Amino acid sequence: MAATQTLYCCPCLPAAHIAQQLRLQGWHLIATSEDAAGAASPSAGLQGQVGLVWLEEPLAPLLQRTLQCLRGLRTPGPIQWVGVLPPEALELGAWRELVINHLRDHQTHPLPFQGLEQLLASAQRRASLLLGGGALTLADDELGMIGQSAAMAALRQQIRKVAQVDAPVLISGESGSGKELAAQAIHQQSRRATGAFVAVNCGAIAPALIQSELFGHERGSFTGATNGRAGLIETAAGGTLFLDEIGDLALDLQANLLRFLQEHTIQKVGSNRTLQVDARVIAASHIDLASAVASGRFREDLFYRLSVLPLHLPPLRERLSDIPALARHFLRTSLAGLSDTQVEGFSQDALSALLTHPWPGNVRELQNRMRRAVVMADQRLISAADLGLPGPQDDAALALEAVRALAEREAIEKALGRVDQNMTHAARLLGVSRMTLYRLRQKHGLADYPIAA
């Protein structure tokens, strides 16, 4: 590190030899305590707030002290907390809740110093980004998702609910809408968070290899199989198996997957023995699997096994109010590590273009356009041309309509949020009739979310 960086430590400092190595790397360690919940002073050269929960034993008094620190420590900015804990702490409900609710990341003992360095470096990079601008602190959350629209609020609520059980989840949504991100959020919020998250793109593996990739194979089971190999399902034991684009899976493999979902057993290629595997399955598809079932391209019994907990991701065009926050986030990540650029933000024509584009490629398209813009921009502010989007019309009518629509949508979402989605009360807040609010709700693509009478 180029400058001294403060590291808040609770409930105590790391072991002496670890603390010494951290100081040699430029960290200024502050040991917090119950008294320190009042205030703490950062060192000079502050680059962002970073905290470390270092726990040797999961003792009850230490839990209370740690919670007081995480909730009450007052610093110049928000702290990015990470933790290093004994494995047995994660088996205790109270400590597990602390990790889920308060820590950005964690590792378990024993952890080599290099692993600790990487953990802190990741937290420091994020803390620096947050220190540089306030929008991201309001937009991002522990699920790793950005956006405050009604659609995202409903999605967050659903994710937290389905994460609490082990039943299969079927995520639907257009390409680029963030299905894998949603699957990772479910995994991180579940009791399997310490296990592996194994992602498989069923459409990207050659048909001749996918059975071996998923279920594994024994030595000599086919030409070239010089060694036995564990499949991806077995690799996910104790964690989560994410099957992306499951609609591309061949019918014979669908039958094998159905057996795994029913019996939690697999059979490797070339073996007559069954192997018990405990892995949660989350599947995703951009095609309508119900239609695939009707056309005979997908097994009906597998469809119902997978869709115990259905989750739909809204396309970007249905959450226009999230676009500015997403664009700022992708701008920051695209600028990370670049020193020879003067880009600082967006011009008005760029913002208008972002709000009027239909986004057929959804969030992935937005991310790619931001990467392009950072490279193409010659000015301090990114233009619509830098994004590869058409500029505003001469009379600026399109841009004005986009801004008006965004403001209208945000007002509706805020009103519904304030009254717990009650249409009558929201209409009264907005000064319109219930029928007008229903029409506006339909116009802005908010009609698919449950609304109280």
The two tokens of residue 382 are: 């990114």
The predicted pLDDT at position 169 comes to 96
pLDDT at 400: 56
pTM of the model: 0.59
pLDDT at 247: 92
Interior angle at CA 159, CA 430 and CA 246, nearest 5: 120
**Given a cut of 60, is residue 448 above it in pLDDT?**
no
- 313-348 pLDDT, tens digit per residue, is 999 998 888 898 889 888 888 887 676 777 878 888
Superfamily of domain 5-132: Response regulator (3.40.50.2300)
- Tens digits of per-residue pLDDT, 174-209? 999 999 999 999 998 999 988 889 999 988 887 777
Of residues 199 and 438, the one with the higher pLDDT is 199
Across the chain, mean pLDDT equals 81
pLDDT tens column, 18-33: 888 888 777 888 887 6
Q: What's the pLDDT tens digit per position in 55-114?
A: 998 888 888 888 888 876 766 556 788 999 999 998 888 898 888 878 888 898 888 887
First to last CA, the chain: 56
Between 304 and 146, the higher pLDDT residue: 304
Does 14 sit behind a cis peptide bond, omega within 30 degrees of 0 on the bond before it? no
What confidence tens digit (pLDDT) does each residue in 242-280 have? Answer: 999 999 988 888 988 999 999 999 888 877 888 899 999
Domain regions of the chain by residue span: 5-132, 163-312
Whether residue 301 has pLDDT greater than 50: yes
pLDDT in tens, 31-58: 876 444 433 444 333 445 789 999 998 8
Handedness of CA 145, 147, 148, 154 (dihedral sign): negative
Is the pLDDT at 151 greater than 90? The verdict is no
- Does the pLDDT value for residue 390 go beyond 50? yes
Which DSSP string corresponds to 302-334? HHHHHTTEEEEPPPGGG-GGGHHHHHHHHHHHH
Q: Are the folds of 5-132 and 163-312 the same?
A: yes
450 pLDDT more than 60: no
Percent of the chain topping pLDDT 90: 30
The reply to whether CATH 3.90.105.20 applies to domain 163-312 is: no
As a 3-state breakdown, the chain gives helix, strand, coil percent values, each rounded to 5, of 45, 15, 40
Please tell me whether residue 411 adopts helix, strand or coil conformation. helix
